[in-house]
Amino acid sequence: MMYRLTVPVFAMGFIVIAAVAAAAPAAPAPKEIAGHLTAIAALAQPVPGTTIPAGPFLIGSKRTDGMPYGPWTQYDDTELPQSRVWLDTYEMDRDEVSLGEYLAFLQDRNQQPVEELKRLIWHLITVHAISDQTLARWPALYVSWEEAKTYCAAKDKRLPTEAEWEKAARGTEGSLFPWGTDEPDNQRAMFGQHHVHEIPIVAAVDSLQKGASPYGLHHMAGNAAEWVQDWFGTDYYAYMPARNPAGPPSGRYKSVRGGSWKSKSAMLRAATRSGATPEQRLATIGFRCAKSVPDPADTPR
């Protein structure tokens, strides 16, 4: 299950945990799926990287008590307080890792997708008539935190830190959503979707340009929520370092950012935080990779 971690605004020293689960179809995938997995992998397209320049940015939210249901009101105390921190230059994938890329990665390693993902793909092909071409551009789902980390490392990359993710999503001055302050709609984000059997309703990873972040990244709100590198610290924003914060040294949950195809609009706010246990594989969580960029001043001459 994915856990939405909520520290009450009235701060009573406990965490209220609400469980939200998304399940794939129950029937096992037949052997006939193998040809589709190969075809989807063959359609993989490399994702371009986007350089995020070094400098300070606003992370988190200001406490807002006078407007309890307003768009700028903190979702919970985990995103408080707002501060300005410095990040060195880094590179972030423009798009979420696609299903095509992920299956091609597994194929290169002679590995099979997990059964949940195979069942989902077979269901989408046979029941919903979704083509291999379309599925190749879907975000990769049912990937655990460790599996996401392994994928990024194989590409000489890594998962972004939570601070890197937030800067890439909202820019330097603390934008409400990746695209600005307008309420989310179906031209900007894939969210608020429902399917009676919990089948994902997502968009291609390189779609919805109107919803792009200030740096041109797609789907930093909605579509697939995204694993990041950090452990989830409920009060981490209160004591994070002023330069290159990398999260607490340990924890029970890994941070997940951006909201998913199921999320309500509040979860699409660029400051909203959530988390899940790192071994979980869910139909609502995907990932994208990042990469450190060496400082030219550190390069030997």
State how far the Cα of 78 lies from the Cα of 257, in Å rounded to an integer: 13
Q: Could you give the percent of the chain with pLDDT greater than 70?
A: 87
Q: Is residue 215 part of a domain?
A: yes
State how far the Cα of 150 lies from the Cα of 167, in Å rounded to an integer: 23
Q: In what order do the strands lie in the sheet with 290-292?
A: 49-52, 90-93, 290-292
> Confidence class of residue 27 from pLDDT cuts 50, 70 and 90?
low
- Kindly report, residue by residue over 38-94, the tens digit of the pLDDT: 999 999 999 999 999 999 999 999 888 776 677 778 788 899 999 999 999 999 999
Q: Is residue 119 part of a domain?
A: yes
Q: Is 249 exposed, middle or buried (0-12, 13-18, 19+ CB in 10 A)?
A: exposed
Q: Is residue 300 part of a domain?
A: no
Would the pTM count as exceeding 0.85? yes
State how far the Cα of 172 lies from the Cα of 195, in Å rounded to an integer: 36
Identity of residue 240 = M
Q: Is residue 7 part of a domain?
A: yes
> Confidence class of residue 295 from pLDDT cuts 50, 70 and 90?
confident
User: Which pLDDT belongs to residue 296?
Assistant: 66
Q: Is residue 301 part of a domain?
A: no
What is the residue range of 287's domain? 2-295
Q: Is 114 exposed, middle or buried (0-12, 13-18, 19+ CB in 10 A)?
A: middle
Q: Is residue 279 part of a domain?
A: yes
Structural domain tally of the chain?
1
CATH of the domain at 180: 3.90.1580.10
